[in-house]
Amino acid sequence: MIGGIFDGRYRIIRLLGQGGMGAVYEAEQLETGEHVALKCIDGGLLLRSSSGVGRFQREAKAMGSIDTDHIVRVLDSGTDPKTQAPYMVMELLEGEDLQQLLDRVGKLEVDAALRITAQVCLGLQKAHEARVVHRDIKPANIFLARRADGEIVVKILDFGIAKIKPEPSQGGPTTGLTRTGSLVGSPLYMSPEQARGLSSIDFHTDLWSLGMVLYRALSAATTLTMVISRARSCTTRRPRVGSQPPI
């Protein structure tokens, strides 16, 4: 695939990352010469899991519906004519995610942590205004993108398990809704109601997760500490928005 032409419009340059869903490549848009990130689903997943394809398509829809500098931009999407697998094209980011930064430095100074959190809040505000609940806010999904002028812009990644709520006037099912009791997300960062698999979660779950991210960034909490914190929060009978997380 490296060096090949994808869908007649993109030249594949190098592999950026790979996971269970598929792979992300750096690619060149042949018409404009722009370098982009091309994410394509594993062709075999089409045969193994229709839900995996639905998740991929939901991610493209969620990200494409939000206009903000603080969520990675989707530039294009389509279907590979050879495999019939969906793909999406995103802006190519330079930098590192927050998890990589924390692995390197341990914890952040208060000012730095708050600056990052404030930019994530701006992205979440736009997502929630578009009735999109991310459901997987964690350090690995918070990217510190470095612009050409050296400025750092924080961008939210990976809307693969996002929940898209319909407008009240429209009714209809919620896109991305999982069965009650199904667990989606990252256990160390998810809210108590999300950990219980409740289907009624809303934007408050993202705020809880962001609070846990801030806790991790400021405290250099170990995995064991985070597990204990999660266990305590999930045994609380009635978590209330605004109450302090157990630390």
Is 76 annotated in the active site? no
Question: Under a CB-based contact definition with an 8 Å cutoff, are residues 135 and 185 in contact?
Answer: yes
Euclidean distance between CA atoms 117 and 223, whole angstroms? 21
Q: Is 39 annotated as a binding residue?
A: yes
Euclidean distance between CA atoms 171 and 228, whole angstroms? 39
Residues recorded for the chain: 247
Catalytic-role residue among 42, 136, 158, 206: 136
DSSP string spanning 44-109? HHHHH-HHHHHHHHHHHHHHHT---TTBPPEEEEEE-TTT--EEEEEE---EEEHHHHHHHHSS--
Euclidean distance between CA atoms 200 and 203, whole angstroms? 10
Question: Residue 246 gets which letter from DSSP?
Answer: P
Q: Which residues are catalytic?
A: 136
Binding-site residue positions for ATP: 39
